[in-house]
Amino acid sequence: MSKIIISSDSTCDLSPELVAKHGISIIPLGVTLGTQVYRDGVDITPDEIYAHHDKTGELPKTTASNVGECIDYFTELTKDGDTVVHFTISSSMSSTYNNNCIAASEFDNVHIIDAMNLSTGSGLLVLAAAEMAESGMDAEDIVAKLEELRPCVDASFVIDNLEYLHKGGRCSAVAMLGANLLKLKPCIEVKEGSMGVGKKYRGVYGKVLAEYVDERLADVDSIDTARVFVTHAGCNEEIVNAVVEQVKSKGIFDEVLTTRAGCTVSSHCGANTLGVLFIRKSPIA
């Protein structure tokens, strides 16, 4: 009997445990480090990227799966007649979505969803789709429901150091110098598929994160309380635990999940990046 397979590229940053629990299929994006090409989350880790950067000053390049790779991937997933609902990182951030759409045009049973997000901002949608499939919804209804849910995702991160953003061309040298001198910690928000700078916090990173969490979760009535992600890119364990306990202490969410950001997010933001990601009841303006 055919079934619905929920799938995503590796930028959704779901843990191996969550992927296994819900039977989610993952296709890794490429990571080029030096002259070597790796597969995100398969044969390279964020810590290896940080070590390479510390040694050489070089950042990796991340690459989308090409059309041929996507066709091969979807061919394998649909070989038994199964239907695929596949998520990609925001189309404004990568050519991944376009490549997948071209590949999916070769199939009658592959649906591509532009998550218009990254990391567990996408992961929230992937998990929601998996639960819908488990409840017996058909693919068309899942796609329609996800299009309603997508603008409700509240995805943001606080960055401790702007070096990676600067080297990746996403932050000018002047802005980086000013932020470092003033000890600013910018909040990066994802809105309408693109990253932008929200509030600029000032101070020690741990204290900044406590303020960030309080502000992000202040409007309790607007929040879908099913789950929240605390996602980080290699933060100190004490800092992560403090944020998790702070989120849990508010008693808002049924489920508080902790995940480590994969190579794509880590390549652009660097270590000491942390976000609290969840879904609101209404689209975010």
Q: What is the dihedral of CA 172, 118, 94, 84, to 10 degrees?
A: 180
Band of residue 166 on the pLDDT scale cut at 50, 70, 90: low
- pLDDT at res. 18: 96
Specify the length of the chain in residues: 285
* Residues 35-92: tens digit of each pLDDT: 888 999 898 899 998 888 888 888 888 888 899 999 999 999 999 999 999 999 999 9
Question: What domains are there in the chain, each with its CATH number?
Answer: 4-151 (3.40.50.10170), 152-280 (3.30.1180.10)
Percent of all residues in the chain with a pLDDT value above 70, rounded to a whole number? 92
The pTM for the full model equals 0.93
Residues 6+ apart with CB under 8 A from 263: 10, 29, 31, 38, 40, 41, 44, 45, 46, 49, 60, 62
